[in-house]
Amino acid sequence: MSNPTVAIIGRPNVGKSTLFNRILKRKLAIVDDRPGVTRDRNYALADWNGREFYLIDTGGLVPNTEDRMEKSIKHQVEIALEEADVLLMVVDRQTGITDIDYHVAKLIRQFGKPYLLLVNKVDDQKHEGDSYEFMKLGLGEPLLIAAGPGRAIGDMLDKVVEMLPRNRVAPLDPSTIKVAVLGKPNVGKSSLINAITGEERVIVDSVPGTTRDSVDTIFEWRNQKYMLIDTAGLRRKSRVKDSLEFYTTLRTEKSLERADVGVLVLDSSEGLSHLDLTLASMLEHSNKAVMVVINKWDLQKDPNKANYLGWLKEQMPFLNFAEFVFTSATEEQGMPQLLQTVISVFYLWRKNVEPEALARAFDQAVEKNRPPSIKGKRIDLYSITQTDVAPPRFLIKASEPELVAPNYQKYLHKQLHEGLGLKGTPIRLMFKRSKPPADWSERNYVDYGGRPRYHSSKGED
């Protein structure tokens, strides 16, 4: 059984996201004084005194609205109400009871689930007397808290843990593959996740920037568990003018840090933008397995995949090691291939290469193109060994490690990627100064037990 779920609900701007961050003791939800900032359900695993539960931060509920986005938020809140085991209704002492508060209270009574009524922004005792008017909501005596400074949060969490079902505690399966879905606004990330999971888990809207919070979606396919991290759309840094945009940009980077696999989603009906290349660069340096999903392929006027892929690799050659998949989220095309590719790049990312295969690929690369001399010094490469995984890291012993040219390092990267079949994962090369092995001779020869050796350096160190 999975961990139980606690949902924070309420009208806009009562402090739900502040409470979410306070419980988690880290900033995951966007906190802003404008209504509607939290648009999707924001999931995270919380812990209190050894008891784990999923915490959902929902968007502010606005009933009977004609606004398209507020309708989407209402739909997401209703899904959260269905998923949750315990409901936390947050109201605002400073503004008092509103018609929306009465509507939310009615929803809670309809769902019939355990709940707590939390009056927020009760910063000290002198304000406690103002809070009992909320008993008019028909939800019993409220708990008085201040999410910002953290007043009474511990007492509240004690009550939450008491209300959680006792037969559903289980940690997240460690075999779960964590996938960060990156992309500029309006490339179809949310639609892609909905197509993969077969359920509407995130808001799909044609307005750029709809997904502002990261949303974790856990599902299973062919006996493999996945967690999809739908990251906020990245904006140009010149547009990061307030806290909202700042945290959105920061969350994109941090979502990638949490992942095993980074998936860059591109809109095939558009050319590459500066933001696409920015995200691609983030992936290149992320140490994560890398995929590029070419979405909206059904809108492509010239559906020649080979031509498009050749053009794309010319535009961002630094991601040529990545796996590329063509999809159409709205038509649900390419989803099995996408998931199978996720599994492939994940396991290559964690692969321990056979020493003999590593020696052979290294030998072939150096025989084909030996490192050029620098400043009159000949550079000799003596051996290669793997030192780590996720991603694969290799240590090369050389006579003059600091003189190995960047272009030659790029060459070795490319040759090892191809020779070892490590498609979809970056590799990291490290060079260390070493004297020639004692049995190293003038002639070229390779010991495929794992120690390839090349031309003599005359004993130089």
The domain segmentation of the chain, as residue ranges, is: 5-163, 177-349, 355-453
Confidence at residue 186, expressed as pLDDT on a 0 to 100 scale: 80
Does an H or E element contain 384, and which? strand 381-388
State the binding site for GTP: 10-17, 57-61, 120-123, 183-190, 230-234, 295-298
Asked whether residue 454 carries a pLDDT value surpassing 50, the answer given is: no
Q: Please state, rounded to an integer, the average pLDDT across all residues of the chain.
A: 82
Most confident residue range from 7-16, 20-29, 437-446 = 7-16
Looking up tokens 């964590």 gives 178
What are 323-350's pLDDT values in tens digits? 999 999 989 899 999 999 999 999 999 9
Stretch 105-130: mean pLDDT: 89
What are 239-281's pLDDT values in tens digits? 444 333 433 454 567 678 789 999 999 999 888 988 888 889 8
d(CA 204, CA 73): 11
Confidence at residue 156, expressed as pLDDT on a 0 to 100 scale: 96
Pair type for strands 143-144 and 86-92 = unpaired
What are 221-247's pLDDT values in tens digits? 988 999 998 775 545 444 444 333 433
What are 422-447's pLDDT values in tens digits? 999 999 999 999 988 776 654 444 44
**Please, which pLDDT band fits residue 25 given cuts at 50, 70 and 90?**
confident
Confidence at residue 38, expressed as pLDDT on a 0 to 100 scale: 44
What are 173-188's pLDDT values in tens digits? 889 999 999 888 788 8
Asked whether residue 123 carries a pLDDT value surpassing 80, the answer given is: yes
d(CA 355, CA 439): 19
Q: Quickly list DSSP for 394-440.
A: EEEEESSGGG--HHHHHHHHHHHHHHHT-TTS--EEEEEE-PPPTT-
**Please, which pLDDT band fits residue 169 given cuts at 50, 70 and 90?**
very low
Asked whether residue 138 carries a pLDDT value surpassing 90, the answer given is: yes
Q: What angle do CA 185, 186, 190 make, to 5 degrees?
A: 100
d(CA 281, CA 277): 6
Fold of 355-453: GMP Synthetase; Chain A, domain 3 (3.30.300)
User: How many CA atoms are closer than 13 Å to the CA of 102, on its beta-carbon side?
Assistant: 5
Asked whether residue 203 carries a pLDDT value surpassing 70, the answer given is: no
Asked whether residue 48 carries a pLDDT value surpassing 50, the answer given is: yes
Alpha helices in 30-152 (DSSP H): 68-83, 99-111
What are 288-316's pLDDT values in tens digits? 999 999 999 998 888 899 999 999 999 99
Stretch 108-120: mean pLDDT: 93
Same topology between domain 5-163 and domain 355-453: no
Confidence at residue 455, expressed as pLDDT on a 0 to 100 scale: 39
State the binding site: 10-17, 57-61, 120-123, 183-190, 230-234, 295-298
CB 266 within 8 A of CB 291: no
> If DSSP codes are grouped into helix, strand and coil, which group holds residue 251?
helix
Look up the CATH number of domain 177-349.
3.40.50.300
Residue 300 CB: number of other CB atoms within 10 A?
Answer: 15
d(CA 381, CA 405): 13
Stretch 352-363: mean pLDDT: 96
**208 or 82: which leads in pLDDT:** 82
For residue 388, give every residue at least 6 positions away whose Cβ sits within 8 Å of its Cβ, in sequence order, or none. none
- 92's tokens: 């605002």
Confidence at residue 202, expressed as pLDDT on a 0 to 100 scale: 58
Residue 436 CB: number of other CB atoms within 10 A?
Answer: 19
Look up the CATH number of domain 5-163.
3.40.50.300
What are 76-86's pLDDT values in tens digits? 667 667 778 99
CA 412 to chain centre: 29
**Please, which pLDDT band fits residue 4 given cuts at 50, 70 and 90?**
confident
